[in-house]
Chains A and B, each alone.
Chain A
Amino acid sequence: MFSNFDFDVIRRSLPYLFLDGMTFTLMLTALSAVGGLVFGTLLALMRLSGLKLLGRIAGLYVDLMRSLPLVLVIFWFYFLVPYIGQWLTGASRPIRVGAFASTLVTFIMFEAAYFSEIMRAGIQSISKGQPAAASALGLTYSQSMRYIVLPQAFRNMLPVLLTQTIVLFQDTSLVYVLSIPDFLGAASKVAQRDGRLVEMYLFAAAVYFVISCFASWGVRRLQARIAIVR
């Protein structure tokens, strides 16, 4: 059944697939993970702040994002970001936003909801005595968060955060719906140009599989290494 396969199409398109496609995918994954973590932590702090209104707003945002499919959110932001840009810069018409910037905003905003739930669990896993001791020592709220609570929460949750990042890596393939050449988009472009759907999609699946497998194996090892003996 592999007799009429053309494996050469893969070799010929390797530079395009990896230099253009995979670079886009990995950049998007890394930047979204960092941005999502920052915003997610802020959302988690808002929810745990004890201020009713702030907590409500953060809770609503997280619940809203988590009940929508990512594809719909991608479409939402694709059309919304130009208007947000116009509002921010005070321009007279919706500004043009590149494919990368638009998807980056989308993924940061979407992942923030998921990261915030992880960070919330991480912050709640720190015993109450620690922030209490910190404030007894005279540390302010922001100092106790920055030096005591968040570093430990982050460390405890690192494996979960990384697993979520692997999910994010797989989810970035959904930018396909905007015809953006990420790794899958690039593979699909070559596939349709050369009429080699079978080879290209099998290859794409294999690449995603190997990277995700390798990454989750790394997370498992890390988890074993950094686990705090209690």
Chain B
Amino acid sequence: MNYNWNWGIFWQPSPNGTGNYLDMLLSGLVLTIETALLAWIIALVIGTIVGVMRTLPSKAASAIGFCYVEFFRNIPLLVQLFLWFFVLPELLPRSAGLWLKQMPNAPFWTASIGVGLFMSVRVAEQLRAGIGSLPRGQKMAATALGLTTTQAYSYVLLPIAFRVILPPLTSEFLSTIKNTSVAITIGLIELTGQARAMQEFSFQVFEAFTAATVLYLLINIVVVIGMRLLERQVAIPGYISGK
């Protein structure tokens, strides 16, 4: 391969004048993590609501949940981000649309909310499966004890269901982090975006992408280890992977 390797490139000053190339990548890493965390919070909150709705006895609630899931699952994330970023401001009343367009950090908020909504569907489906995997007797016993539906969910069903789905939730969280890179298309310069920018400024393609790859691997390792610790922490003795 007649490629001109130059690993020292990371310590050379970057053209945007805020330090060297390594700083550039690290600022992208921080933005990736921030976007992913906000998106994950949105995904968890909405995903929990929709997931619970789909298991409720009420026909209307599960129909709404079903429509929500189908809508967000059958449109590619990239198109969804375009809808939020380019289309929504045009459909709103003039003043609201203008406010959206002039919002500082618009790509960040759009990406967080867009990825969050996209992932909320996955969380909802996992949670629905988790609640479905619990023995029917749990809900019945809760009802027999006189708990209302809300109480049954918050004290009996959800605490166990969330423990059951913790491993798949880990991979959904990893997907959330990876999916933030799609926001490069609406101008969010996160880790992948910074690697691309570095490649354009310095022509050191493979060094830039290798660094981004290593950083993504590091995030993955940290998340996996963290979630394992959490799993061990919340395990109930004598129940699912508890000791």
Given A79-B206, A177-B184: A208 touches B3 (CB 8 Å cut-off): no
* A76 pairs with B2, CB closer than 8 A: no
Q: How far is the CA of A67 from the CA of B206 in the complex (A)?
A: 18
What separation, in Å, do the CA atoms of A79 and B179 have in the docked complex? 21
Checking B180, B182, B196, B213 against A68 with a beta-carbon cut-off of 8 angstroms, the contacting residue is B213
One of B87, B174, B216 near A201 (C-beta < 8 A): B87
**Interface magnitude class on chain B:** 35 or more
B153 at the interface (CB under 8 A from A): no
Contact of A144 with B by CB under 8 A? no
- A67, B175: Cα distance in complex, Å: 8
B91 near A1 with CB under 8 A, answer: yes
Measured between beta carbons, the chain A residues less than 8 angstroms from B213 are 64, 68, 72, 76
Quote the shortest CB–CB distance from A149 to chain B (angstroms): 27
Closest Cβ–Cβ distance, residue A164 to chain B (whole Å): 14
Chain A 19-53 residues near chain B, CB threshold 8 A: none
Complex formed: what's the CA distance from A6 to B71 in Å?
24
Q: Is B90 an interface residue (CB 8 A)?
A: yes
Q: Which of B4-12, B73-81, B133-141 sits within the interface? A: B73-81
Contacts of B1-58 to chain A: CB distance below 8 A: 1-3
Structural contact, B195 and A201, CB atoms closer than 8 A? no
Asked if B143 is at the interface of the complex by the 8 Å CB criterion, the answer is: no
Of A75, A174, A202, which is within 8 A of B78 by CB?
A174
**Residues of chain A within 8 A of B80, CB atoms compared:** 205
Q: How far is the CB of B207 from chain A (nearest CB, A)?
A: 11
Closest Cβ of chain B: how far from A197's Cβ, in Å? 5
B34–chain A nearest beta-carbon distance, Å: 16
Task: Count how many pairs of residues, one from A and one from B, have CB atoms less than 8 Å apart in the complex.
Answer: 104
Chain A residues lying within 8 Å of B184, measured Cβ to Cβ, are: 71, 177
Q: Which of A121-129, A135-143, A209-217, A221-229 contacts B (4 or more CB under 8 A)?
A: A209-217
Contact, CB under 8 Å: B195 / A69: no
Whole-angstrom distance between the alpha carbons of A38 and B83 in the complex? 35
Chain B positions 99 through 143: 1 when the CB is less than 8 Å from some CB of chain A, otherwise 0: 000000000000000000000000000000000000000000000
Inter-chain contacts of A209 with B (CB < 8 A): 71, 74-75
Instruction: Report chain B residues within 8 Å CB of A216.
Output: 74
Q: Which residues of the partner chain B approach A204 to less than 8 Å between Cβ atoms?
A: 79, 82
B22 CB, nearest partner CB in chain A, Å: 18
A198 to B1, CA, bound (A): 46
Q: Does B217 contact A (CB under 8 A)?
A: yes
Residues in B neighbouring A93, C-beta threshold 8 A: 2
Q: Does A184 contact B (CB under 8 A)?
A: yes
Residue A102, interface by CB 8 Å: no
Question: Do residues B76 and A184 form an inter-chain contact, with CB atoms below 8 A?
Answer: yes
Q: Which chain B residues border A83 with CB–CB below 8 Å? A: 1, 3
Interface positions of A from 61 to 95, Cβ below 8 Å from B: 64, 67-72, 75-76, 79-80, 83, 86-87, 93
Q: Which residues of A contact B180 (CB under 8 A)?
A: 69
B162 contacts chain A at the CB level, 8 A cutoff: no
B185 within 8 A of A: yes
**Which residues from 169 to 206 on chain B have a C-beta closer than 8 Å to any C-beta of chain A?**
174, 177-182, 184-185, 192, 195-196, 199, 205-206
Q: Which residues of A contact B74 (CB under 8 A)?
A: 170, 208-209, 212-213, 216
A28 → chain B closest CB, angstroms: 13
Tell me the B205-222 residues at the A interface (CB within 8 Å): 205-206, 209, 212-213, 216-217, 220
Complex A-B, nearest 6 residue pairs according to Cβ-Cβ distance, in ascending order: A212-B74, A69-B181, A170-B76, A69-B178, A67-B220, A71-B181
Contacts A67-B220, A70-B181, A213-B70 known; list 4 others, CB within 8 Å: A67-B174, A79-B199, A170-B76, A176-B78
Residues of A within 8 A of B (CB): 1, 64, 67-72, 75-76, 79-80, 83, 86-87, 93, 170-171, 173-174, 176-177, 184, 188, 197-198, 201-202, 204-205, 208-209, 212-213, 216
